[in-house]
Structure 1
Amino acid sequence: MSLVAVVTGASAGIGRATARELARDGAKIALLARGSVGLAAAAGEVRAAGGVALPIETDMADYAQVVAAAARVTAELGDIDLWINNAFTSVFAPFVEITPEEFRRVTEVTYLGFVHGTRVALDHMLSRDHGTIVQVGSTLGYRSIPLQSAYCGAKHAIVGFTESLRCELLHDRSRVRVTMVQLPAVNTPQFDWVLSRLSRPAQPVPPIYQPEVAARAIVHAARRPGRREYWVGASTVVTILANRIVPGILDHHLGRTGYASQQTERPTDPDQPVNLWQPADGERGADFGAHGSFDHRAHRHSPQFWLSRHRRSLLTGAVGLAVGVAAAGAVLGRR
């Protein structure tokens, strides 16, 4: 029987790449997002890759819309096995330049959108005692940076919310699993449509990874949800660990470097679309795809995540090698 999956934020970026990755195994995939143009294109890619696509225009900030979308999924595709929360929006600006309405909107989409998606997923999974929820997180859920206070706050909230939920599921001995995937900077179209008040165009803080790296990690986590959390990219590992040890030093470092590192040298496009209130593809009728504007600087693989995935095999091999070397040494020592 084919996996039935829901991917939020599926019209572009990481969500779109994840849907393609799932489609290779013939999954039935509900694609949730606001932009109709991007959703249609994403559905075409899923079908071309061998999957079944059900695009549903959904604003994750609206709980009623999420409930209605899930009802369509079960009616048209079947019981939901996997729910991937990924949708978000953001504002690039110093905190004092973000209006309360903008801050609330980012929080409602990026944090409450995960809460809504998780609640609806559980409504469909708990009664069957089956299912997996993957929360697509960020390094910024542990280490905040300047100019992204609304987004960082939402990602921190997702971590706290998910940890609380995980404890409750363990208490109930539920077979529903929830895991998180913490990502590095990714080359997605968000930098081409984010609301920004910076003097120059926004960019991800290097090193930058292609969305397919994130997608492979998310699908791997969905297949192996027993681990509570996955970290992707060496920069993610270093940043999270450093923040546990020397957070004050990182505060000062980011205060000095965090503004320049998040801006390109190009002049700002005055006609850049903004997706905070309306989907960006609706403004220009364009499909933004999975990749952003930084293909020339983005890594297609993460050696760190490959090592993380295969750590047990590597450890077993290392132990075997050590035993073999020790045995050989003992034999030679007796000669």
Structure 2
Amino acid sequence: MDRVVVITGATGGVGRATARRFAEKGDRVALLARGEAGLAAAAEDVREAGGTPLPIPVDVADAEAVDKAATAVETAFGPIDVWVNDAFSSVFAPVDEISAEEYRRVTEVTYLGYVHGTLAALKRMKPRDRGTIVQVGSALAHRGIPLQSAYCAAKHAIKGFTESLRCELMHDHSNVHVTLVHLPAVNTPQFDWLLSRLPLPAQPVPPIYQPEVAAEAIVHAAAHPRRREYWVGGSTVGTIIGEKLAGGLLDRYLARTGYNAQQVDRTPPRDRPNLWEPADRQADHGAHGAFDSEAKPRSRQWWLNSRRNALLAGAAATTTALLLRSHRKGKGDHGDDRAT
């Protein structure tokens, strides 16, 4: 396709898998992240997949640095077609075991990082009246869970910010589009990277999906941005609908199960937390975390979701054909009756 794509948080997990997926389509991919080793490895991934990489070291909490990165992308590649916000950091701990400084840092990276990326994209896309912004969200943007208050709050904020922006773009009759992709639990290095004060090492709440499932959804959303939200994985659908229908029951259920579901007796991670410094400054960690043995490589829900228009069209065509066949048969039967 040869689009110009920018991805924040591009050196690990979902961002890394998404960079590869865009590269497979022949796109030019700007990789924004902090870790030098991770950036170098991600750039090599993009080259091997058939894309053209542009690694740019940047902390998305720094608005000026993000804007300068956007200028560097357009200088090297030309106008940005797609901007994907994915960078984040967080803390696993009860609310009162997270300091005010840590909440501030998580907010600056995980929420304001999306704001900074969005502003940099809009500054360039709106005058041209074209472009797509994809916000990588989470089921936890709809439903908070214990031990992840900082992350859940940031994802809720991203959802509200994006909804406001969408209304403004519609008001302006703009051809710039923004969409949200809400993800389930994903097997990424974050469970070794994030600062944790839990008794046991952190794990994603099962069912767990491989980051390539998320990457496929993000690339699809970039090509079909008029849909306001995409839900990926049956667990995401269940969480969002469950919160809408029975939030109080979910409170009690998560109070009982949420602590144990996010911890596992495994070898403790050796990586330093990435809240203040990149975990991949010296070593690359790739897209996958420590849960390959149990992570799902595909989602039936997403397969159906991404093809729903074609499936609905097919169902409509089949229904129409059956009705016509029934109608013709009925006319034939009626003709026989009259002849009799």
Q: Same fold (TM over 0.5)?
A: yes
Q: Which moved more, 1:303-312 or 1:129-138?
A: 303-312
Quick check: 1:216 aligned with 2:216?
yes
CA shift, 1:39, in A, is: 0.5
Query: Which AA in structure 2 matches 1:59?
Result: D
The residue number in structure 2 matching 1:42 is: 42
For 1:332 and 1:122, locate their aligned partners in 2 and report how far apart those are by CA, in whole Å. 58
Cα deviations across residues 286-333 of structure 1 (Å, max 9, x unaligned)?
110000000111111111111111112212222333333444445556
Query: Which AA in structure 1 matches 2:277?
Result: Q
Identify the match of residue 315 of structure 1 among 287, 292, 312. 312
SS in 1 for 2:133: strand
The residue number in structure 2 matching 1:23 is: 23
Taking only the aligned residue pairs, the percentage that are identical comes to 61
The residue number in structure 2 matching 1:81 is: 81
Query: Which AA in structure 2 matches 1:317?
Result: G
Query: Which AA in structure 1 matches 2:280?
Result: D
Is residue 184–residue 209 contact of structure 1 (8 Å, CA) maintained in 2? yes
The residue number in structure 2 matching 1:277 is: 276
Query: Which AA in structure 1 matches 2:307?
Result: H
The residue number in structure 2 matching 1:150 is: 150
For 2:266 and 2:2, locate their aligned partners in 1 and report how far apart those are by CA, in whole Å. 46
Identify the match of residue 302 of structure 2 among 279, 302, 305. 305
Aligned residues: 332
Structure 1 gaps, min length 5 = none
Query: Which AA in structure 2 matches 1:276?
Result: L
For 2:219 and 2:19, locate their aligned partners in 1 and report how far apart those are by CA, in whole Å. 9
For 1:162 and 1:142, locate their aligned partners in 2 and report how far apart those are by CA, in whole Å. 13
SS in 2 for 1:253: helix
SS in 1 for 2:280: helix
Is residue 199–residue 268 contact of structure 1 (8 Å, CA) maintained in 2? no
For 1:306 and 1:81, locate their aligned partners in 2 and report how far apart those are by CA, in whole Å. 25
Identify the match of residue 289 of structure 1 among 286, 292, 298. 286
Cα deviations across residues 207-255 of structure 1 (Å, max 9, x unaligned)?
1110000001000000010101111001111110110010000000000
The residue number in structure 2 matching 1:133 is: 133
Is residue 94–residue 148 contact of structure 1 (8 Å, CA) maintained in 2? yes
SS in 2 for 1:29: strand
Query: Which AA in structure 2 matches 1:203?
Result: Q
The residue number in structure 1 matching 2:172 is: 172
For 1:251 and 1:267, locate their aligned partners in 2 and report how far apart those are by CA, in whole Å. 30
Cα deviations across residues 143-201 of structure 1 (Å, max 9, x unaligned)?
11000000000000000000001111111111100001000000000001110000000
Give me the TM-score of the superposition, normalised by structure 2: 0.95
Q: For 1:62-73, list aligned pairs within 5 A.
A: 62-73=62-73
Ranges of 4+ aligned residues in structure 1 off by more than 6 Å:
none
Is residue 271–residue 279 contact of structure 2 (8 Å, CA) maintained in 1? no
CA RMSD of aligned residues (A): 1.3
For 2:305 and 2:137, locate their aligned partners in 1 and report how far apart those are by CA, in whole Å. 17
Q: Which has the larger radius of gyration?
A: 2
Give me the TM-score of the superposition, normalised by structure 1: 0.96
CA shift, 1:69, in A, is: 0.6
Structure 2 gaps, min length 5 = none
CA shift, 1:275, in A, is: 0.5
Q: For 1:93-132, list aligned pairs within 5 A.
A: 93-132=93-132
